[in-house]
Amino acid sequence: MKKEIVFVANYFHPDYASSGQLLTELCLELQHDFDVTVIAVQPENVDLGKRNKLFQYDQLEQIRVIRLRTPKVDKRSKFSRVMFILSYFILAVIALLRIKKVDVIYTISSPPIIGGLVGAIGKVLKRGKLVYNIMDFNPEQAEAISYTNRKWLFSLAKKIDNLSCSVSDHIITVGQDMQETLNHRFRGRRVPSNSVINNWTDEQDIIPLPRSHAQVSKFVREHDLQGKFIVMYSGNLGLYYDLENIIRVASDFKDHPEILFVFIGDGAVKPEMQRYVKDKGLQNVRFLPFQPKEHIKYSLCAADVHLVVNQKGIKGVSVPSKIYGVMAAGKPILGVLEQGSEAAVLIKESGCGVVIEPQQYHEISEHIANMYACGQETLELTGRGGRLYLERYLAKSQSIDKYRTLLQSI
């Protein structure tokens, strides 16, 4: 008889968010081994029929999906975020309690603190096992960018999340440096059962493609990128990446029209970035929307160099999952990352790029100029190292098998 596993996460297919895509792929792989139910919010800007119900029931292959109607989030507004989190918390708990049989609850650390708390409450009330996947440590992440000056709030949030960790039957972190953070949280006390399972991309889907490939060439033409040396950032333009300052590097290349900065995605700091570009009259920056999942493999391969960045203080707190897609595409990486962080280690071990400490903006400019000057052959060789490393150590099937084994053993 199959175990009943309930995945509780704010994002799920067809959302563009990377956590939603990862969870979707995981559930699709596990649906034959377990009876899977997913609790997630209704995606924005996607027609899923009537939206006047608080709980909407859906199906993806053999996966049952319960979609929650939450307020639309304005990522630039703290009040809007709080309203979303509160409504998500209440509705997710109610949806979880309505499910008759639950063997394992699998929850992630998003929304911050609330994700783990929903799982902890569900475990107590449904008497199931709890697996807590920490993709981002909070409040450490919010504290790193001084999201609020109320220190007591950070202290309270950490106590709540530590409680969720303590009642978990198993904790998953997505990087070795994050496991160190977990150990540090529980220093002097017993650390809950835990393991590291890295995130992934589908390396069978995203493969190295030349710019002459029909679909890559189409993407380049459609966005008027022909003849450019493209420095690309593809992902969330959010609060934890220092992009509002990194965008200023583009000013150093305003007299080099052949070097183009392309930012693909959306997020809280995008308006600020766009204002800077407009105020400075920069012609060497483009902003593009999130690409449909089936087109990401082409947009990634259109770049010459990819930016993989994190704000200072994020080491051991979060791993930018975009690094796996870039490595799969066989593209060189310019990493703006703290030494010893998971992504920085991957870049160094694979030899697929260079790593600069956050906030060293002059060095970012220098390395972009160096990568532009070194020629395509060298760049291709560098990017190939990342692809080979990914195939050997970070393949999707390896991570999925770890999840399958873990969930069967709980």
Superfamily grouping for domain 4-200+395-409: Glycogen Phosphorylase B; (3.40.50.2000)
Cβ atoms of 40 and 31 within 8 Å: the answer is: no
What mean pLDDT is predicted for residues 347-361?
97
Q: What angle do CA 55, 162, 339 make, to 5 degrees?
A: 105
Q: What is the pLDDT of residues 23-33, one digit of tens each?
A: 999 999 999 99
Which two tokens mark 31? 């649906």
> At a CB cut-off of 8 Å and minimum separation 6, what does 368 contact?
231, 249, 253, 259, 305, 334
Protein fold of 214-394: Rossmann fold (3.40.50)
Residues in the chain: 410
Q: What is the pLDDT of residues 97-137, one digit of tens each?
A: 999 999 999 999 999 899 999 999 999 999 999 999 999 99
Residue 109 has what pLDDT? 95
How sure is the predictor about 311, in pLDDT bands with cuts at 50, 70 and 90? very high
Q: What is the pLDDT of residues 274-301, one digit of tens each?
A: 999 999 999 999 999 999 888 999 999 9
Sheet holding 104-108, edge to edge: 55-60, 63-68, 35-41, 4-8, 104-108, 129-134, 170-173, 194-196
Residue 46 has what pLDDT? 58
The two beta strands, 35-41 and 55-60, are unpaired
The residue extents of the domains of the chain are 4-200+395-409, 214-394
Partnered with residue 55 across adjacent β-strands are: 68
Residue 44 has what pLDDT? 72
Q: What is the pLDDT of residues 388-405, one digit of tens each?
A: 999 999 999 999 999 999
Highest mean pLDDT among 150-154, 251-255, 293-297: 251-255
Cα separation, 24 vs 11, whole angstroms? 9
Which two tokens mark 274? 């766009």
Residue 209 has what pLDDT? 97
Q: Half-sphere exposure (CA, 13 Å, Cβ side) for 385?
A: 16
What mean pLDDT is predicted for residues 266-281?
95
Is residue 50 predicted with pLDDT exceeding 60? no
Supply the pTM of this predicted model.
Answer: 0.91
How sure is the predictor about 5, in pLDDT bands with cuts at 50, 70 and 90? very high
Helices 151-167, 176-185: inter-axial angle, 10-degree rounding = 100
Contacts of the segment 375-380: beta carbons below 8 A, 24+ positions apart: 376/304, 379/304, 379/305, 379/332, 380/330
| String of DSSP letters for 346-410 | HHHHHT-EEEE-TT-HHHHHHHHHHHHHH-HHHHHHHHHHHHHHHHHH--HHHHHHHHHHHHHH-
Asked if the domains at 4-200+395-409 and 214-394 fall in one CATH topology, the answer is yes
